[in-house]
Each structure stands twice: as C-alpha cells, then as structure tokens.
Amino acid sequence: MKLHVKYFASLRESVGRAGDDVELPCERLSVAELREHLAAQGIEALAETGKLRAAVNQVMAEPETSVGDGDEVAFFPPVTGG
C-alpha cells in the first residue's frame, strides 16, 4: 500500500518537511495505526496523539478511520482563533 502523508502548521516545522510518500506491507490500516507507525519510524511529533487532527483525502477523520492504497493522509495540530 502506498500513501501520501502531509504535515501542516507547527507539525510541518517540527518534522522539517511538508510530507512523505509511505509504502507499507498491508492493504488497510487505521489513521491511528498509521500515526503510530510513523512515530515509531522517528517522526516523534506524531506521538502527541491528543494534540493532532487528521484528514483522509481532505475529509476530517477519526483515529479509527480506515486508510487504503493511494490515499492522502494529512496530520495537523488543532486550530484556534477568533
């Protein structure tokens, strides 16, 4: 399975790049499993689970949302403002 992962805002600054193309030896996994995999690969900023949001193919996603081949997954911190 191949995915395109994007990082936004302060997460992009922490990771040091806008995104990654990721290849995994499975057909499907959840957003949470992908985040855990990436954190284990050295992207420590993704270990902060309570402080991150995700979108799959530009639609807001929950941790249990399924991710498949060719999907785009974006991770970003919560947005605040007024």
pLDDT at 82 (0 to 100): 53
Domains of the chain by start residue, with CATH = 2-76 (3.10.20.30)
pLDDT, tens digit (0-9, with 9 covering 90-100), for 47-77: 877 778 999 999 999 999 999 999 999 999 8
- pTM, two decimals, is 0.91
Segment 13-38, tens digit of pLDDT: 989 999 999 999 999 999 999 999 99
15-50 per-residue burial string, b: 16 or more CB within 10 A, e: under 16: beeebeeeeeeeeebebbbbbbebeeeebebbeeee
pLDDT of 71: 98
User: What is residue 80's predicted lDDT score, i.e. its pLDDT?
Assistant: 55
